Chain A
Amino acid sequence: MPWRAVVKAPHPTVEQATSEAEVTPLGYPSLLFPADHAGDHTSHADHACMVDLNLDQVIDGILRGRRGWGLRSLYLAAPESSEVVAYRQAVFSDLEDHGLHSGVRDFAGSMDRVRRYLHLSSRVESGFHRWGWLLHAALQYCDAVDALQGELAKAAPDSPALSAARKWLRAYTSSSAYTTLLAETRRVASLMATVEFVMDIRGREVEIRRLGDEPDYGECVCSAFEDLRRDARRSFVSRRPTEYGLSYLEIQLAECIEKLYPGEIASLADFARKHADFVDEGVVQLDREFQFYMAYLDYIRPLQEAGHAFCYPAISPSGSPLHARGTFDLLLAKKLHREGSQVVPNDFSVDAGERILVITGANQGGKTTFARMIGQIHYLAALGCPVPGEEARLMLFDKILTHFEREERIEDLRGKMEDDLLRIDAILRQTTPRTIVIMNEMFTSATLTDERLLGESILRRIDAIGCIGVCVTFIEELAEVGDSVVSFVAEVSTEDPTIRTYRIRKRHPDGRAYALSIAKKYRLTRRQIRGRLR
């Protein structure tokens, strides 16, 4: 039985090294770490643990369609400092403002295009097209930078991160490097806009000339038929994007245009020589770090629109009470949302003196989801993200340990159990009071007595360490192990015990939920019988 762990990274990871390097020497502000926390330790997530908590799928979903930025490493590194969490929460909260959000999204889209155009420019062979793509990239780049600067100035964000970014961007856009680029780009672009030529196609012979005063016949026909087709929506002509510039005809065509418009093409070539490398490193970093935030916000937005609550959790020191109201499993909510239904939100709380949550109740009643959810929201909270729920107070952890049963072949029960116990023991030795341990149905293959014995013993040890433990089990006695243990029960509908409500309530296990509900349905509970016989 595998134990998986989020263990503290012994050395700063590559990402932290880069972000550290980017912050100080060049003076670019980071959106992810406050200046004095640039080298902070972060928990580096173990893959198997992320799998147990379904966080791997959540992160896959968040990063869908965002390949280019190398964002995964940012999501796999959870900071351990509440200052970093606060720093990021402030950025998230600024970006939830609609205007700024769409401004940043446009910026990202533009930067994406800049990269694509530059890539094209580096790929094509003919100078004619290479210069063209470079010019187009520069146009897009200037638009992107100007627009972002305008958005940041207009929104005047409160967060330290974004106000630093705004200040830096203002300085950059007034630098001479940028203003020269802008002026040159616009001049050459307007010159190129004057190039227009005609192709007279007859069979396979094509004559090419400068455009004269030939009227637009297409327009003429279209306006004659405009009345008829006014309300048409359907398009009958397909778009066939073919790759341009690969044929001999197109190469010849480019040569003809160069000869028909020599002055314009010379200016363009000159521009390309001077501004081959115009993209600023600071803008690139800003773009990437924005994506960390945007990816998450875009992921949760459909859920928010469907009425699911998200909140910024307060961070409490370890050992103090924790709670979350109306929270849910993010992946499950996404899945149900796609299917057109809603996830059932649940509350959890750990009050003073409580540390171990034992979850019992109906089969398939949402117990595992509940346990997973506790791990998820803590992980997301540590990243600085808004978490599912109306309100939450959570703790930062040094690691999350998970133990989820898998379909594993058991040849030698005793040997395997011994092996597992040794590993559990080894890992419990690493557990600190700041750890979160999540166990799902441990030792289900053992006999009931063994399972109870081992479970109690492990809970006692966790209790002694003083960390937070979450334990999903059939064995209701585990809820009685000690004062620090608090019981949660997955409930069933009182009318029909076969209907699951997916509600988990903090209460004592009653051991008779199923029988009681059946009895109620047929009006045969003790109280009912007494009432009917009166």
Chain B
Amino acid sequence: MRYPRLIYPDRVFEPQDERSDDTELAKDLELKTLLDCMADGDALVRQVSRQLLLEMQTSRETIAYRNGVLSDCLAHPEMVRDLYSLAEEALGVGKRYPMGILSLSTAPSVLGNAVNLLGGLLPRMERLKGLAEEYGDHCASDGLGDFFAMILREFPKEHLDALRCHIDTLGTQAGFYISAGLGPGNVPTGHTLRLRMHRRRSRLERLLADFANRLLGRPPDSFTLHVHYRDEASNVALDEFKHRGLRSVANVLAQSGDALLGLFESLRRELSFYLGCMNLHRALSELDMPVAFPEPVGMRKPVLRARELYDPCLAITRGGEVVGNDLQADGKRLLVITGANQGGKTTFLRAIGLAGLMMQAGMFVAAKAFRASCSRRFHSHFRRREDPDMEAGKLEEELRRMNTIVENLEPESTVLLNESFAATNEREGSEIAEQVVTGLLEAGVRVVYVTHLHEFADGFYRLGCGDFLFLRAERRSDGRRTFRVVSGRPEETSFGRDLHDRIFSSPDGVN
């Protein structure tokens, strides 16, 4: 039996503990909003989706594999919900007959529990088989197709019937028939459960046989012992005897039950991610926001091209009405985004980050079209507006975080910088930024940098390097923002004045 592999083509999904070094990224990209929407109240969906979004899958084969499964799921949502609820039901049976509890772990009690558990799980296996028969032909993806084929192949009717027959026999037996030999110190050993071949002789028959043996001078062929109910030591010995005789059967049945439970548990886990994707898909569709399966390319060359790329979290919180951006940054290793405050720069940065995460998780992305190279990892360095640790000094705190990022950095990663190193004056900040960004680029890391550091941005612009791209948050001549990001030379002012003027000239802003 093979557990379903809906997430990796070559292995089952193993949930991990949350990785603390990724929480910065999760926080900066506001992953919580996305996960809330995906989970829709299901903690497992949330946990698995989070792990996969932060996993940064770089194998395009795996990404395509997940895209395939997701397409099947989007085409047959009722199938996913049936499978998911069947798995939950089976796990409910497992809860009713728990195993591995110390006080219950003598062989006779484990055997009893395992027989009950399998009695509950085998019918659910038959239902799973029914679903496999129903949907097997409709699923185009390898992940679901292989899983259904495995179920049909490994659990033919005769096999399931045979298993149920053994479970019935063991469930209705009376007494135990156990053999043993002599081990070290002539202590009985090798206890084995045997199938009784003959009817048990009555007391009278035994007496007669005994008498006959004695008459013919033959050694007796049988002895009958009675354990007194108050002879505690003998009762313990008898229990031990049964325990040993039943141990391997009990263990095998318990392991079988556990394996079937594991199958349902694994199925639920693997499906939970797709359930999350389905929830998000429905939410964005209801908002009339476009989604598309992205086109991932290899990591070697920087590729980044999008149509109507938007931040799905913002779309969810705003209820639609977000502006998508087109972007053409193929071959660019550095993106510098400057321009008006509140002009959508951070949103744009998040949209790039989330699209990358979702693409590499094997999901659709929040855009009409998206084509990008994979990144080994995403790192984010956002300026912390509220720093609880005042003592450390803001710049030092930023540098310390940057240091942590660099410590964990691998080439072909992407670093998202949002107003980094702005905690000091522009000259110093620009100097540090130049050092850091140059270092990162030389190490083969891609950088997207939202910044007000004009000296830095314009300095780089003046280098005229072909693999740098400079973008600006657009502002119309009347000062109004379009929330579009367009390419262009960094401008000196950051339009903070507009914001200032707007707030201070609005009726409730005047005091």
On whether the beta carbons of A222 and B223 are closer than 8 Å, the reply is: no
**A379 contacts the other chain (CB 8 A):** no
Interface size, B (range): 35 or more
What's the tally of chain A residues with a CB closer than 8 Å to chain B?
72
Residues of A within 8 A of B228 (CB): 204
CB contact under 8 A between A237 and B251, given known A207-B222, A228-B1: yes
Segment at the B interface, from A189-197, A418-426, A470-478:
A189-197
Closest-CB distance, B93 to chain A (whole angstroms) = 16
On whether the beta carbons of B200 and A199 are closer than 8 Å, the reply is: no
Q: What are 15 pairs between A and B in contact, CB < 8 Å?
A: A129-B185, A192-B182, A196-B179, A204-B235, A214-B194, A224-B163, A224-B166, A225-B163, A231-B259, A232-B259, A236-B110, A238-B106, A242-B237, A245-B187, A247-B237
Contact of B227 among A206, A222, A240, A242 (CB under 8 A): A206
Closest-CB distance, B258 to chain A (whole angstroms) = 6
Contact of B223 among A196, A231, A256 (CB under 8 A): A256
On whether the beta carbons of A200 and B177 are closer than 8 Å, the reply is: yes
A286 to B377, CA, bound (A): 61
CB contact under 8 A between A218 and B249, given known A117-B185, A201-B238: yes
| With A208-B222, A225-B166 already in contact, 4 other A-B pairs whose C-beta atoms are closer than 8 Å | A131-B186, A230-B259, A242-B236, A252-B225
On whether the beta carbons of A200 and B196 are closer than 8 Å, the reply is: yes
**A522 contacts the other chain (CB 8 A):** no
Interface residues of A (CB under 8 A from B): 117, 120-121, 124, 128-129, 131-133, 136, 192-193, 195-222, 224-232, 234-238, 240, 242, 244-250, 252-254, 256-257, 259-260, 262, 268
On whether the beta carbons of A248 and B180 are closer than 8 Å, the reply is: no
A222 to B192, CA, bound (A): 12
On whether the beta carbons of B250 and A236 are closer than 8 Å, the reply is: yes
**B175 contacts the other chain (CB 8 A):** yes
CB contact under 8 A between A249 and B225, given known A229-B255, A240-B106: yes
Closest-CB distance, B490 to chain A (whole angstroms) = 38
A94 to B235, CA, bound (A): 54
On whether the beta carbons of B175 and A129 are closer than 8 Å, the reply is: no
Contact of A217 among B1, B194, B240 (CB under 8 A): B194
Closest-CB distance, B476 to chain A (whole angstroms) = 54
Determine the residue in chain B with the shortest Cβ distance to A248. Answer: B234
Determine the residue in chain B with the shortest Cβ distance to A210. Answer: B221
A130 to B105, CA, bound (A): 32
Residues of B within 8 A of A117 (CB): 184-185
Closest-CB distance, A384 to chain B (whole angstroms) = 38
Residues of A within 8 A of B229 (CB): 204
Residues of B within 8 A of A132 (CB): 182, 184-187
On whether the beta carbons of B256 and A207 are closer than 8 Å, the reply is: no
Instruction: List which B1-16 residues lie within 8 A (CB) of chain A.
Output: 1
Determine the residue in chain B with the shortest Cβ distance to A265. Answer: B186
Residues of B within 8 A of A208 (CB): 222-225
Residues of A within 8 A of B100 (CB): 234, 236
A306 to B226, CA, bound (A): 60
A234 to B186, CA, bound (A): 30
**B347 contacts the other chain (CB 8 A):** no
On whether the beta carbons of A209 and B105 are closer than 8 Å, the reply is: no
Residues of A within 8 A of B219 (CB): 259-260, 262
Most buried by A among B186, B222, B231, B255: B186
Contact of B249 among A221, A227, A248, A257 (CB under 8 A): A221
Instruction: List which B243-269 residues lie within 8 A (CB) of chain A.
Output: 243, 245-256, 258-260
Residues of B within 8 A of A244 (CB): 185, 187-188, 237
On whether the beta carbons of A237 and B231 are closer than 8 Å, the reply is: no
Closest-CB distance, A156 to chain B (whole angstroms) = 34
On whether the beta carbons of A199 and B182 are closer than 8 Å, the reply is: no
What 7 pairs across the A-B complex have the smallest Cβ distances? A132-B186, A247-B233, A232-B255, A202-B175, A249-B234, A218-B193, A229-B255
Residues of B within 8 A of A228 (CB): 1, 163, 255-256, 259-260
